[in-house]
């Protein structure tokens, strides 16, 4: 375990100061070509669907050592570059990592009749139950990315369901008010993100034999023009909400973050093109006296980008090393106190 950590500021690489470059290039830059060697575990969900977790256990790990579970973002899976990078870096430090494929994703394609969504925190609870069974007595950290971060916050914000073995969490670029994040896609020059997600999501529906019976909801004249249409026509009705707005209202974690009692670090960029920084203004005020949740805003970084300038980090992926530091810290509370002292950036409108 590490102590006396220094939390360095994020300084973007000189070639990637633009938020869109950080976001797009960030999906490929410094990609680790690690061979897949994980053991797969199936988790049965209360509605009889299945999800898969991928168990990467380093040779040095022994019972009682640290475990981390990773949750990917929208249209991602265990193969997403950030999932592979973090697994490799944590494994090198003796941490056992479980990459969770959200319902119907990755190795779980075709195993679920219902789609994953921002409120799928009970799915995370089931996966954590399996991790606890496999690793009795081990402290567990949660790391969620984008939508996976939203799910993580929704789980952590319900203390009555949080496992006693979860002792810390890290979320990167999580949408905290879904309706406001979806509105971003309607801005000029942001259409390529919307097309990317809708294309991937509709393709996912067509390739899943459990979901392809619903393709009429997202094809022909029903083909969604935007993410709100997709959620209104597909996500909301399939998971039991009246409309997209009902889904967004009930599954936005902004309302529950103050209930979190596990040390949790939220990092997001003010220039994130997918999650507007001003959605954090209200929760930042609410968290000002909250000892368990720390919000750290950077001026730059894009969405899951954070490609940094040369520094003391072993490679340019600044956010990767902050996750490693947080998970290995002897005292996340002490590290959080230092981060708060260094976090004085004013909120600004996103790009």
* Reported pTM: 0.93
Phi-psi region of 301 (alpha: psi -120 to 50; beta: other; left: phi over 0): left
Tokens representing 257? 């973050």
β-pairing, 96-101 vs 67-71, is parallel
Rounded percentage of the chain residues whose pLDDT exceeds 70: 93
Q: Which of 181, 110, 171 has the alpha carbon at shortest distance from 141?
A: 171
2 pLDDT more than 60: no
Report DSSP letters for 224-252, one per residue.
Answer: -SSHHHHIIIIIHHHHT-SSHHHHHHHH-
In this prediction, residue 131 carries a pLDDT of 98
Annotation says 146 is catalytic: yes
Annotation says 272 is catalytic: yes
Q: Which of 62, 181, 166 has the alpha carbon at shortest distance from 124?
A: 166
* Given the residues 303, 320, 325, 350, the one annotated as active site: 303
Annotation says 342 is catalytic: no
* Given the residues 55, 231, 272, 320, the one annotated as active site: 272
Window from 73-82, 90-99, 133-142, 187-196 with minimum mean pLDDT: 187-196
Domains of the chain: 19-191+252-341 (3.40.50.1820)
More confident residue, 281 or 30: 281
In this prediction, residue 5 carries a pLDDT of 66
Task: Encode pLDDT of 142-156 as tens digits.
Answer: 999 999 999 999 999
* Given the residues 80, 138, 146, 152, the one annotated as active site: 146
């Amino acid at each position: 375990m590490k102590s006396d950590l220094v939390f360095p500021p994020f300084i973007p690489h000189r070639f990637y100061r633009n938020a869109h470059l950080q976001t797009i290039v960030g999906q490929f830059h410094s990609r680790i070509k690690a061979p897949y060697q994980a053991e797969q575990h199936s988790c049965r969900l209360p509605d009889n669907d299945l999800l898969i977790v991928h168990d990467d256990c380093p040779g040095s790990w022994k019972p009682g050592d640290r475990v981390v579970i990773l949750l990917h973002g929208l249209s991602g899976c265990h193969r997403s570059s950030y999932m592979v990078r973090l697994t490799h870096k944590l494994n090198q430090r003796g941490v056992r990592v479980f990459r969770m494929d959200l319902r119907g994703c990755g190795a779980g394609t075709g195993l679920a009749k219902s789609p994953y969504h921002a409120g799928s925190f009970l799915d995370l609870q089931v996966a954590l139950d399996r991790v606890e069974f496999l690793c009795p007595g081990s402290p567990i950290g949660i790391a969620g990315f984008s939508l996976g971060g939203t799910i993580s916050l929704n789980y952590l914000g319900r203390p009555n369901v949080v496992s006693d073995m979860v002792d810390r969490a890290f979320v990167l670029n999580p949408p905290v008010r879904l309706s406001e994040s979806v509105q971003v896609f309607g801005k000029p020059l942001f259409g390529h993100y919307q097309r990317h997600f809708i294309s991937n999501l509709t393709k996912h529906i067509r390739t899943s034999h459990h979901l392809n019976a619903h393709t009429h909801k997202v094809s022909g004249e029903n083909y969604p023009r935007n993410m709100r249409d997709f959620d209104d026509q597909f996500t909301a009705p399939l998971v039991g909400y009246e409309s997209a707005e009902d889904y967004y209202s009930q599954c936005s974690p902004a309302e529950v973050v103050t209930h979190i009692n596990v040390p949790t670090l939220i990092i997001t960029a003010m220039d994130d093109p997918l999650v507007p920084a001003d959605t954090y203004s209200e929760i930042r005020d609410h968290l000002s006296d909250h000892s368990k949740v720390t919000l750290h805003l950077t001026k730059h970084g894009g969405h899951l980008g954070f490609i940094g300038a040369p520094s003391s980090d072993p490679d340019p992926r600044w956010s990767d090393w902050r996750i490693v530091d947080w998970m290995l810290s002897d005292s996340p509370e002490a590290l959080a106190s230092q981060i708060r002292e260094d976090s004085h950036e004013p909120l600004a409108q996103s790009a």
